[in-house]
Structure 1
Amino acid sequence: MSQMVRRFIRLFAGLFLFAVGIVLTINANLGLSPWDVFHQGITYLTGITMGQASIGVGIILVMLNAVLGESLGWGSLCNMLFIGLFMDLIMLNHFIPLSNGIFSGLIMMFLGMFIIGLASYFYISAGLGSGPRDGLMIALTKKTGRSVRFIRNSIEISALFVGYLLGGFVGAGTLIMSIVLGYIIQFVFKLFRFNVNQIQHRFIDVDLKLLRAKILKKKASQTTGI
């Protein structure tokens, strides 16, 4: 139980930091990341907040991942819900200022990318399942046999293209983040000597099976006692 508590603390620290990093890159005002271009396009189309758009997209992706046979963890569901909630909390209360200059914008964007890298370390190392977007990448990689790089680039280019058509903000920062973010995440992982391949995730279906087995065992012991 104490181990699971520590895992969830690590998970939620990562999700909150992820939201902070995303809002920093948004408020850098130099162009949004591909997924955030898509989320912003949805806000223009529907009138909902960026956080709500992130949650809505996450719900659809989680359902798609389940259809594609990808196992879901409790972290997958928390990622789907809480990053968007934390984003709205930060943005609607103006906790992070909007940059009005290129220099300050670059500082905010690179700081945001570093925090996203740190957040990725925390939430992935919790071992409670991939986020909806990473889960889609993994599921499509398994289904198609194509490389992770090809699948990830294809997904993000598609999100960017649709988001741009919907009016999402594409700028120099979009190109920079598309190229640099992966390297920053890799740098953070090396900094903490973190190997993604060594993580053993706990999935919801496994936990439900264990819970069912415990309930049946308890009922059997009570029947035997009678």
Structure 2
Amino acid sequence: MIAGASAMGAGLALMIRAHLGAQPWDVLHLALAKLLGVSPGTVIIGVALLVLLFWWPLRQRPGLGTLATTILPGVSCDLVLSVVPVPDDLVPRAALLAGGISAFAAGTALVIRAGLGPGARDGLMTGACARWGWSVRTVRTCLELGVLVLGLVLTDPMQAIRTGTAGPGTIAIALTLGPLLGLLLKQRAKREAQPS
């Protein structure tokens, strides 16, 4: 759980440093950080606490994993942002983006696998999947696209594109994270179903 929550924050930071467009949730986080004059990590924690309010209609229950993913990704994100610079060349930036997506997806899967409660944002996904039978891929992709729109509404979209907050990487993240999580969690379910 701790490794997964930390990997989530590191993945977020790598996606930000790739400067090809941050994760959709981070378009929202960075817009709020700029509006409020606080660090991205602080906003990540604050948004996580706000998202927990939406758990009630989904009948989600928080756990130790929920607490860990409310705090650790924000701390980990700020730490990685402080040591990883933005590369000048496109190839290393694309590598940071791919590494960030992979680290974030793997971290999310680890937290969910720990069974100690999903992260605040992941609880929206797991709650909707459990309550209505929707696929992880569909729910996560819809969530990512929804928060992207909200983040762009709160900021100047052209400025977000010029500064690298939103870009082709943002769309790549929104469209690949859900299917990747669906695959990781499906593989877990298959392994658990096999007799030992």
User: Can you list the C-alpha shifts for 1:142-183, whole angstroms capped at 9, x where unaligned?
Assistant: 56x373455433332221111112225210101111222334
Q: Normalising to structure 2: TM-score of the pair? A: 0.81
Quote how far apart the aligned CAs of 1:62 are: 1.3
SS in 2 for 1:195: helix
Quote how far apart the aligned CAs of 1:100 are: 2.2
- CA distance, structure 1, for counterparts of residue 143 and residue 173 of structure 2: 15
Matching residue's letter, 1:35: W
1:171 matched residue in structure 2 = 167
Contact 2:140/2:177, CA 8 A, preserved across alignment: no
Distance 1:123 1:49, change over 3 A: same
Task: Say yes or no: does 1:195 pair with 2:182.
Answer: no
Quote how far apart the aligned CAs of 1:78 are: 1.3
SS in 2 for 1:86: helix
Residue of structure 1 aligned with 2:102, choices 114, 136, 146: 114
SS in 2 for 1:170: coil
User: Can you list the C-alpha shifts for 1:71-122, whole angstroms capped at 9, x where unaligned?
Assistant: 111101211122112212222xx22121222211111111112222322232
1:217 matched residue in structure 2 = none
**Structure number with bigger Rg:** 1
- Farther-moved stretch of structure 1 (18-27 vs 172-181): 172-181
Q: Normalising to structure 1: TM-score of the pair? A: 0.71
1:155 matched residue in structure 2 = 143
2:117 matched residue in structure 1 = 129
1:44 matched residue in structure 2 = 34
| Number of aligned residues | 184
User: Can you list the C-alpha shifts for 1:20-59, whole angstroms capped at 9, x where unaligned?
Assistant: 1111111000001111111111011111111111111100
2:25 matched residue in structure 1 = 35
Distance 1:181 1:51, change over 3 A: same
1:88 matched residue in structure 2 = 78
- CA distance, structure 2, for counterparts of residue 63 and residue 89 of structure 1: 28
- Structure 1 gaps of 5+ residues are 1-10, 200-226
- Farther-moved stretch of structure 1 (131-140 vs 44-53): 131-140
Quote how far apart the aligned CAs of 1:187 are: 5.5
- Structure 2 gaps of 5+ residues are none
- Percent identity, please: 28
2:56 matched residue in structure 1 = 66
- CA distance, structure 1, for counterparts of residue 127 and residue 177 of structure 2: 22
